[in-house]
Structure 1
Amino acid sequence: MFLRTFGWSFAITIAGLLAAGLLWGAEGFGVVLILSVLEISLSFDNAVVNATVLKRMNPFWQKIFLTVGVLIAVFGMRLVFPLAVVALTAHLNPATVVELALDSGKTHDGHTYGQYLELANPAIAAFGGIFLLMIFLDFVLEEKEFNWLNWIERPLEKIGKLEALSSVIALVALALAANLFAGAHAETVLLAGLLGLATYLAVGGLSGVFESGLEEQEEAEEAAERSGKSLVQVGGKAAFFLFLYLEVLDASFSFDGVVGAFAISQDIFMITLGLGIGAMYIRSLTVFLVRKGTLDDYVYLEHGAHYAIGALALILLASIKYHIPEIVTGLIGVAFIGAALVSSMLRNRREQALEGATG
């Protein structure tokens, strides 16, 4: 199962690194390898959260996630999307942006493509930060089967019964970020943050509606089977919006990696290739976690991933004003995931010891 799940990732890695060596020599090979590792380290928590969503989708949509989803992630989110962001925020026509991207040394009004992308960081950080913050808040405020950090999660579950509390908290965080960090970009930050919130509510709401419809349809189908009738399932619609949700989630995770990649290289093709290889592994890891049932075996992994998401959301909002090294973001995510994994293993041992004592 391991080779079947990661086979394409291994193949793309070999092909990508060979292409980098042939096109750009040893330096290009090294840069692409570093960028791949950077993407994986920054997005491991993304894979865990993706798995919680992907396990609700049927095998067909899991394959779509690994095929079409990869194309969107690599070429859409890590190549086309940054170009679109630069065009919109810098008020440049697409042709000029493409020319700047193709020639890392070329400037327009004194700025290179990489510098324009850095100037767009307030909007990128606000959108991604609020979107990720909503994911974290909705997780910690809802009632869960298992609690990892009881002293935090139980009180939050109690106040989480208040209607739309997560949206209120996110709006307050956005207002504070615009006031404390944005400066002259306050209007841009507010608009981008509101778009991030609206995107989360729209995609999440639509997927929730169709999931509810699917559950009702499945119940009706069971009754129909008993009476000899058949009904058409509407699972495809629910899975489609869950797929959209995963793609927006991937985009939010990729923002810091795309911007941070320009500190390593100014070549957009090296960046796309390196981050694309990393994105392949994140998707393969997501499917592996689902098929292996890892989230069921290690019940606190989902908690650790969401705490890492909460930390990343705050880092993105703070990065509107302050530069925070990507290594810090990566280490925080790994620390939360590692702590959750260890806690899960200890819990499993306690459960096994208890079963042995009672047995």
Structure 2
Amino acid sequence: MVLRIFGMSIIVTVLSLVVAFLYGGPTALALAAILGILEVSLSFDNAVINATVLQRMSEFWQKIFLTIGVLIAVFGMRLVFPLAIVWVTAGLSPVRALDLALDPPEGDAPYFPNGEPSYETLLTDAHPQIAAFGGMFLLMLFLNFIFEEREITWLSWLERPLARVGKLDMLSVVVAGIGLVLTAELLTPADERATVLLAGMLGMIIYIAVDGLGSMFHTEEHAGGPSDLVKATGKAGFFLFLYLEVLDASFSFDGVIGAFAITSDPIIIALGLGLIGAMFVRSITVYLVRRGTLAEYVYLEHGAHWAIGALAIILFISIGVHVNELVTGLVGVAFIGAAFISSVLRNRREDDQEVDSKREPTPVG
């Protein structure tokens, strides 16, 4: 089963490394491998969230996500998306943006000799609005999860009070809006505030729109994402697919920005982040679904959402203060790891209780 799920990712990884070697020699091969590892480490919580949605989709839409969705993730989010940001924010033509990406200044300098900013510089300059958009989308996802009352809680001392407070209608919108305003006022340069506010509002609108479209075809509501639909098909499956792609976009930009600390070559970034990293994230998602891991380790979903909440806050903070990508990755791993350990301990307690109940003598008469 493991080989069947991860086989394609392994093949793609080998081919990508070969292409990287042919493209730029041993250095390019090493960089592509490092970027692949970076993407998987940053996106493991994304895989857990993907699995919670994917398991509610029909087999047809699961295949769409694992085929067309991979192409969108590889070429759309890791290659075209950064280029499109440069087109829009810098007012360049698509051809010129591609030229800048493929032909950086000597020594990876931030500017060309004529004073024109490099592709990396233009993309980094667009970070505030992208961080605001992605941060708001992820924050809405997190808040809708923790404000929903549920039978199983992980951090019960915190999740249960938040669920009680969450009975107030539209509380997630209120909290997210306050967070956006505080970010704009306290962390954003004055000349960027309007842009950050607009981008954050767009992130909120996109989340509400996708969630609302999903709820039109629901049979059972689910917090933390579009409405839960068992084996969703047709339009419901499409909206769950759309939700996953927007979620992937919110996650991917942080990885793209982090990749520039390693290399500014878009081809190597596409090979490492896209083909290697995105393929393995997809395989991990499928593995979680096929093995029923989320049902067996019930706190993983909670840990992933807390990791998403932390990532949203980090994205907001990064608008005004640089946050090392290693911190972002470690925070997510810490939440997922803690949730996994808690799930294992919970399962052991339940097994021990079951054994003890079987050992109790049956009353006579």
TM-score, normalising length: structure 2:
0.91
Q: 1:234 to 1:154 in 2, by over 3 A?
A: closer
The residue aligned with 1:204 is 211
Q: Deviations over 1:121-158 (max 9, x none)?
A: 00110000000001110010001221000111000000
The residue aligned with 2:158 is 152
- Structure 1 distance, partners of 2:201, 2:297, is 35
The residue aligned with 2:258 is 260
Aligned positions of 1:111-130 closer than 5 A: 111-130=117-136
- Structure 2 distance, partners of 1:200, 1:40, is 24
- Aligned with residue 240 of structure 2, among 242, 258, 262: 242
Residue 110 of structure 1: how far off its partner (Å): 2.6
What percentage of aligned pairs have identical amino acids? 60
The residue aligned with 1:351 is 350
Moved more, 297-306 or 97-106: 97-106
Q: Which letter does structure 1 place at the counterpart of 2:168?
A: L
The residue aligned with 1:50 is 50
User: As a proportion of its length, which structure holds more helix?
Assistant: 1
- Structure 1 distance, partners of 2:220, 2:154, is 31
Q: Deviations over 1:234-254 (max 9, x none)?
A: 821101000000000001011
Which residues of structure 1 form unaligned runs of 5+?
A: 215-232
The residue aligned with 1:169 is 175
Q: Deviations over 1:72-96 (max 9, x none)?
A: 0010001111111111112222221
Residue 211 of structure 1: how far off its partner (Å): 2.3
Structure 1 segments of 4 or more deviating over 3 A?
Answer: 106-109
Kept in 2: contact 1:114–1:262 (CA 8 A)? yes
Q: 1:237 to 1:109 in 2, by over 3 A?
A: farther
Q: Which letter does structure 1 place at the counterpart of 2:81?
A: F
- Aligned with residue 186 of structure 1, among 182, 189, 193: 193
The residue aligned with 2:280 is 281
- Structure 2 distance, partners of 1:119, 1:99, is 18
Aligned residues: 341
The residue aligned with 2:270 is 272
Q: Which letter does structure 2 place at the counterpart of 1:71?
A: L
Kept in 1: contact 2:56–2:232 (CA 8 A)? no
- Structure 1 distance, partners of 2:232, 2:155, is 38
TM-score, normalising length: structure 1:
0.93
- Give the match's secondary structure for 1:174: helix
Kept in 1: contact 2:39–2:277 (CA 8 A)? yes
1:195 aligns with 2:202: yes
Q: Deviations over 1:54-113 (max 9, x none)?
A: 111011111111100000001000111111111111222222111111112284753100
- Structure 2 distance, partners of 1:235, 1:23, is 42
Kept in 2: contact 1:213–1:234 (CA 8 A)? no
- Structure 2 distance, partners of 1:145, 1:6, is 34
Aligned positions of 1:1-359 closer than 5 A: 1-105=1-105, 107=112, 109-183=115-189, 184-212=191-219, 235-276=233-274, 277-359=276-358
Which residues of structure 2 form unaligned runs of 5+?
A: 106-110, 222-230, 359-365
- Structure 2 distance, partners of 1:171, 1:91, is 29
Q: Which letter does structure 2 place at the counterpart of 1:52?
A: T
Moved more, 34-43 or 92-101: 92-101
- Give the match's secondary structure for 2:187: helix
- Give me the CA root mean square deviation: 1.5
Q: Which letter does structure 1 place at the counterpart of 2:268?
A: M
- Structure 2 distance, partners of 1:85, 1:266, is 15
